[in-house]
Chains A and B, each alone.
Chain A
Amino acid sequence: METKKVTFSEIIKPETVDLMLAPQDSKDDLFHHMIAMLFDVGAIGSKEEFLQAIYERESLGPTYMGEGIAIPHGKSCTVRKTAIAFCRCDEGFYYHTDDDGGEVDLIFMLAIPGEMSSNDYIRILSRLARLLVYPEFVDELRKAKDYDDIISSVEQYEPLLDQ
């Protein structure tokens, strides 16, 4: 039997995408907002535990990636299934990190189960991270009108990774 590959649309749901985020006063407010989205789709069992995992990762090094992008992520046993939340804030706001941080408008939050059973899930998270290196893909994310636009941009640009 052929094993089915995990697709991007399985780990990022319409309910975990917010394209109209208002500027956030603090990173903590942002994290609470995104964690609530992940909690509401059942991706995580405990908001508090996941927040702790996110901050543990923050303490290891900056998750601001430049070019307006931040990728906070947490690996924890409270994560029930691999998931991504995505927020876009057209006005932008400051994302603080231990070194400096920067202005962000695109934020991806990755929820990674403590016991990562399948490499397929890591692969899909890593493919998203790799796509963010391509300005043409990032432009599409900035122009996307809805969830479907985002998924179709990923599908359109994914072949870049296999060249």
Chain B
Amino acid sequence: MKIVAVTACATGIAHSYMAAEALKKAGKEAGDEVKVEIQGAMGIENELSAKDIEAADVVIFAVDVGVRNKGRFNGKKTVSLGPNEVIRNAKKVLQEVKANFEG
């Protein structure tokens, strides 16, 4: 499954990066293609391209602040949750997202 995600948090120093790493790691372990854009203190990193978004089966917003440039995701299936949930249970989050959106 192709998944794209955006992570963002209040100060953009710790949670956004941990959540991004947790998703990438869980994706690698499960054999899914996961691309993660980090909206943090250094601005937008690993920005998702229009192509990435177009190709994605589902979009995960792991944020506790607003998503910048959210319009890019109009028309996509999205899931929103807090970065903490992703950090604590990235594997489970991915499994649930897949179960809900596959097929």
Contact = CB atoms under 8 A, between A and B. Distances in A.
A binds B: yes
Interface of A: 57, 60-67, 71, 73, 75, 99, 110, 112, 116, 119, 122-123, 125-127, 129-130, 132-134, 161
Interface of B: 9-11, 13-15, 17-18, 20-22, 25, 40-42, 64, 82, 84, 87-90
Given A61-B9, A66-B84, A129-B18, 10 more contacts: A61-B84, A99-B84, A112-B11, A125-B14, A126-B13, A126-B17, A126-B42, A130-B18, A134-B25, A161-B21
A62 B19 CA distance: 14
Contacts, number: 71
Shortest beta-carbon contacts, A-B, top 6: A66-B88, A60-B10, A130-B21, A126-B17, A133-B21, A129-B14
A122 B18 contact: no
Contact of A129 (B17, B64, B84, B90): B17
5 contacts: A61-B9, A110-B13, A126-B14, A126-B41, A129-B21
Contacts of A66: 84, 87-89
Given A65-B18, A66-B87, A133-B25, A116 B41 contact: yes
Contacts of A110: 13-14
Given A61-B64, A65-B84, A133-B25, A112 B13 contact: yes
A130 to B, nearest CB: 4
